[in-house]
């Protein structure tokens, strides 16, 4: 597995920087966002250092698929209501124009009661 020794999210996934983890396995780490934009807001990252979505390769597809499959379960566990009446948002920022601030691929999973929406 590749890591970037200067990457904030690599350090979090390795346990070098504390975080409020909500999930972890051999390939994926999920933790609460330190500046939540919704009642439920956590980040999912691959432990493999992939700088941005457009840098992902075909060989990363199974890992990215696992992340997408895992997102609904974690969203529900963190308090999002399931089904049509509930829901959550999954967002990936890519590059400067896409609003990416940390160059380690990450999914924002956000949800919870709608008063947070403006």
DSSP string, 79-99: TPPPSTTS-EEEE---TTTTT
Residues with active-site annotation: 106
CA angle 69, 54, 44 (to 5 degrees): 35
Nearest to 112 by CA among 67, 68, 77: 77
**DSSP H or E run through 45:** strand 40-46
């Amino acid at each position: 597995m590749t890591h970037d020794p200067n990457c904030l999210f690599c350090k979090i996934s390795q346990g070098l920087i504390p975080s409020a983890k909500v999930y972890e396995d051999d390939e994926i780490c999920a933790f609460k966002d330190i500046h939540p934009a919704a009642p439920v807001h956590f980040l999912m990252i691959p432990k493999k250092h992939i700088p941005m979505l457009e840098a992902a390769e075909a060989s990363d597809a199974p890992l990215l698929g696992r992340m997408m499959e895992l997102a609904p379960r974690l969203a529900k566990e963190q308090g999002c209501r399931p089904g049509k009446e509930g829901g959550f948002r999954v967002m990936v920022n890519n590059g400067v124009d896409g609003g990416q601030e940390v160059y380690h691929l990450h999914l924002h999973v956000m949800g919870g009661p709608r008063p947070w929406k403006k």
